[in-house]
Amino acid sequence: MYMSKVLITGAGGFVGKHLTKELTDNGYEVVTVDRSVKKSSPNSLQIDLNSAKAVGQIDFSEISAVMHLAGLAAVGPSFDDPMNYISTNVGIECNLFEEASKQGHKPKFLIVSTGALYDATAPLPLDENSRISPSSPYAVSKLGQEQLALYYTNRGFECVIARPFNHIGPGQGPGFIVPDIAQQVVECETGSKDEVLVGNLDAKRDYTDVRDIARAYRLLIEKGVSGEVYNICSGRALSGHEILEGIVGVVGNSPKIAKNPKLMRPADNPVIYGNNNKLKEATGWQPEIDIKQTLTDVVADWRSR
């Protein structure tokens, strides 16, 4: 199914910028929505999606698909502000569906959920039928988004749900293991920092390059089946030690490494990785960018900042 004009919410974020490029490079006309846009234009809208009235500024008449990325995405702060996470993430999605419906249009929706919904004690690899056990208010909000999408599917919308696992790549801000380590290693390279402070590096997680994630989103809006859920993941787990070694190898220096007690978190679930067979079978997607290339590009990004 070919989409000519696609709306991306949260287009100014880490994934949104890569998704905008992915769609544009593949011949789509893209309408971006983000709160941080400096000046609105017909194809670049500055809108607070929390406001149903503001969402009314979106003209859905020519929009064939909505790629919904906007919302609160950091897991940690959700524990201190659970109501905000749940009301914001579910509320924004509701506003989009309701406004499209009010205008008499039903574009195909891609709802971006999270692999963090799964019960991490379930047998590995985690697939779309694995047990669900949200472990944070953020995850609860994403489960709410999935259920809301299924409700609107029953109201005649086509809705595809993506569950991406950890995604990494150039442009990712601090607060995640790869950019946090890369920034410090580069600072040691330039002499502005003496050591790299790390937390628990034993945990193994499933990492996918953000550009491969963006390509999966495009393929899902083209080929994904409405009402279905698709994991987006590499299918293998890497430890924090491997991430650190990879970044140090790219930079080529050997900085002093020190444990920061404030960053130490118990690794309750030492290994988590997913199964991507359903996505592969539906779309032909395969991860194409290996971890060394990703880390090389991340280091180049931090060197340029």
Task: Report residue 291's pLDDT band, with 50, 70 and 90 as the boundaries.
Answer: very high
What CATH superfamily classification does 177-203+237-272+291-304 receive?
UDP-galactose 4-epimerase, domain 1 (3.90.25.10)
What is the pLDDT averaged over residues 197-226? 96
Q: How far is Cα 221 from Cα 214, in angstroms, rounded to an integer?
A: 11
Residues 6+ apart with CB under 8 A from 269: 120, 121, 203
For residue range 109-134, list pLDDT tens digits in order.
Answer: 999 999 999 998 999 999 999 999 99
Predicted confidence (pLDDT) at residue 173 exceeds the cutoff of 90: yes
**Number of other residues whose CB lies within 10 A of the CB of residue 264:** 11
pTM of the model: 0.95
Of 47-61, 97-111, 205-219, 253-267, the range with the lowest mean pLDDT is 253-267
- Taking residues 220-224, what's their average pLDDT? 97
Q: Where exactly are the structural domains of the chain?
A: 5-168+208-236+273-283, 177-203+237-272+291-304
Structure tokens at 160: 């595809």
Q: Residue 265's pLDDT is what?
A: 58
- Please check the confidence at residue 266 and state whether its pLDDT lies above 70: no
User: d(Cα 233, Cα 222) in Å, to the nearest integer?
Assistant: 19
DSSP state of 9: E
Contact assessment for residue 266 and residue 221, using Cβ atoms and an 8 Å cutoff: no
Q: What is the DSSP string of 189-246?
A: HHTS-SEEEE-----EE-EEEHHHHHHHHHHHHHHPPTT-EEEE--SS-EEHHHHHHH
Q: What's the average model confidence in pLDDT over 236-250?
A: 97
Mean of pLDDT over the chain: 94
pLDDT at residue 1 tops 50: no
Averaged pLDDT for residues 85-93:
98
User: Residue-wise over 207-223: b if at least 16 C-beta within 10 A, else e?
Assistant: bbbbbbbbbbbbbbbee
Tell the CATH topology of 5-168+208-236+273-283: Rossmann fold (3.40.50)
- Average pLDDT (15-19) is 97
Whether residue 37 is predicted with pLDDT greater than 80 in this model: the reply is: no
